[in-house]
Amino acid sequence: MNLRQSFNHSKASPARTAVRGAALLPQCDGSVQWLPDAWLAWQDGRLCEVRAATADDRLVTQTATLYLPGLIDLHCHWPQSHVRGQFGGALLPWLREAIWPAEAAFADPQVAEERAKTFLNEILRAGTVGGLFFGPPNVQASALLLALAPPSFFDGPALMMRHAPAELLTPVAQMLAEMEELPADITKRLAVTPRFAPNVDADGLRACAEAMAKHGWPAQSHVSENLDEIKWVAELFPLAKSYLDVYAEAGLLGPHTVLAHGVHLGPKDWELLAQTGTWLAHCPTSNQALGSGRMPLEQAKAHGVRWVLATDVGAGPLLSQLDCMGALLQVHQGHCSVNACEALAHASAIPGEFLAQFDPDLKGLGQLAIGAPAHIIGVPRPAGDDAESVLQELLQTPRNLLESLPTQVFYAGHALLT
Ligand SMILES: [Zn+2]
């Protein structure tokens, strides 16, 4: 099955359209509503009917399909997509030896364009219809992705001003100035993206926080993923109370910020994340791949920290959020109670809430709700008679089939699969 490049949101759906099948409706409180025989209708790109089907709903009958909202990924490195899952090792050697050289190639606009197109095709094919993405350390490459991507994609060029190969380094003022000069339809979907504290000094981080406040941009970075990384940050910022404190001191924490990992945070850090409303992207497949450890999800839950599931491609091997949902249940078994319904909500409705802060048109993103964007995926219906059992069965799908599992993908009501 091929993906049709027809997600241009300016084109309204030709007519009111509907599908009928089983449906899972994730909610922002982490629960999921189950409709075994649902009727989903949309017009002009937005859902207008979401309800149990009746005997009169005969327009389309697809009882063998399970419908879900398109999934949302708040932490994924698109310039690593073509090497996803190919390299292992611990974080720092993996970055230096495999990832940074791979990202240097994006200085060539032809390479950047070709890989941006491939990435968009592959991630939409896998059922992810939006998110927050890390670009290469190159503003033009990020702009190129955003020009090609649908409006629910946000992206930031990874800022690196030190401790990396010279061809990847950019002064912070230069990068922010280049970001500000892009066309308005691009700048409104940019994100401030200091790669991680070792690559950006305190002044650079403060400049990022100022740009974030000035432009209303989201911010994204990494925190406390690996013990060697934490040790390095402590050497570089000797006055900081912790790795997270480096970002707090710069003014980068808050409800517009997503930090990936948090595998080795201290008790005060959990309180600080909760107090500031900072979001944590939990990337269980990446943590497994790089041997980073288990993120203590029980701490996030106990402190009321807002967390989402994310792929962290290319350390994460797959673009499919279904893979992260399965890994979530597996890695926390015996440590923290978490179910498949929570896994779905934290890969759809909850990250959708994060992005909706930046664009009112995204309200309802990641939900199957009246008025929400009609981003819907259909997969073969698994056995089961409630949301949890259906999802548990869905997550038994072999990993090598997950990226091509959706049989239907609708973006703003347009069918993308042919
Ligand atoms: Zn990452």
Query: Would residue 6 count as lying in a domain?
Result: no
pTM of the predicted model as reported, rounded to 2 decimal places:
0.96
CA of 76 to the centre of ligand 1 (A): 6
Query: Do residue 400 and residue 326 come from a single domain?
Result: no
Of 307, 325, 346, 361, which Cα lies nearest the Cα of 28? 346
CA of 159 to the centre of ligand 1 (A): 13
Query: Do residue 318 and residue 405 come from a single domain?
Result: no
Query: Would residue 2 count as lying in a domain?
Result: no
Find the Cα–Cα–Cα–Cα dihedral 231, 237, 243, 245, rounded to 10°.
160
CA of 312 to the centre of ligand 1 (A): 5
Q: How far is CA 80 from the centre of its chain?
A: 14
Tell me which residue range forms the domain holding 131. 71-361
Strands lying side by side in the sheet with 128-135: 71-77, 128-135, 153-157
Query: Do residue 144 and residue 285 come from a single domain?
Result: yes
CA of 316 to the centre of ligand 1 (A): 9
Query: Do residue 235 and residue 329 come from a single domain?
Result: yes
Query: Would residue 9 count as lying in a domain?
Result: no
CA of 196 to the centre of ligand 1 (A): 9
- Boundary (domain end) residue, out of 344, 361, 378: 361
Structural domains counted in the chain: 2
Per-residue model confidence as pLDDT tens for the chain (418 residues): 556 655 554 455 556 789 999 999 999 999 999 999 999 999 999 999 999 999 888 765 556 999 999 999 999 999 999 999 887 788 888 888 888 888 999 999 999 999 999 999 999 999 999 999 999 999 999 999 999 999 999 999 999 999 999 999 999 999 999 999 999 999 999 999 999 999 999 999 999 999 999 999 999 999 999 999 999 999 999 999 999 999 999 999 999 999 999 999 999 999 999 999 999 999 999 999 999 999 999 999 999 999 999 999 999 999 999 999 999 999 999 999 999 999 999 999 999 999 999 999 999 999 999 999 999 999 999 999 999 999 999 999 999 999 999 999 999 999 998 7
CA of 136 to the centre of ligand 1 (A): 12
CA of 372 to the centre of ligand 1 (A): 29
CA of 156 to the centre of ligand 1 (A): 12
CA of 282 to the centre of ligand 1 (A): 10
CA of 361 to the centre of ligand 1 (A): 27
What are 298's two structure tokens?
A: 């029980």
Query: Do residue 355 and residue 374 come from a single domain?
Result: no
CA of 313 to the centre of ligand 1 (A): 7
Query: Would residue 102 count as lying in a domain?
Result: yes
Query: Do residue 219 and residue 285 come from a single domain?
Result: yes
- Could you tell me the CA-to-CA distances from 178 to 83, 174, 418 in Å, in that order? 28, 6, 38
Do residues 360 and 312 make contact, with C-beta atoms less than 8 angstroms apart?
no
Query: Scanning the structure block, which residue is given the tokens 């703003």?
Result: 412
CA of 236 to the centre of ligand 1 (A): 20
CA of 50 to the centre of ligand 1 (A): 35
> How far is Cα 61 from Cα 43, in angstroms, rounded to an integer?
19
CA of 238 to the centre of ligand 1 (A): 24
CA of 339 to the centre of ligand 1 (A): 24
> How far is Cα 150 from Cα 285, in angstroms, rounded to an integer?
26
CA of 181 to the centre of ligand 1 (A): 26
- Could you tell me the CA-to-CA distances from 58 to 66, 191, 368 in Å, in that order? 17, 44, 20
> How far is Cα 71 from Cα 345, in angstroms, rounded to an integer?
9
Give exposure, 118-145, as e/b (b: 16+ Cβ within 10 Å). Answer: ebbebbbbbbbbbbbbbbbbbbebbbbb
Q: How far is CA 400 from the centre of its chain?
A: 20
Query: Do residue 77 and residue 48 come from a single domain?
Result: no
CA of 260 to the centre of ligand 1 (A): 6
Do residues 290 and 315 make contact, with C-beta atoms less than 8 angstroms apart?
yes
CA of 147 to the centre of ligand 1 (A): 22
CATH number for the domain that contains residue 275:
3.20.20.140
Query: Do residue 26 and residue 75 come from a single domain?
Result: no
> How far is Cα 262 from Cα 245, in angstroms, rounded to an integer?
13
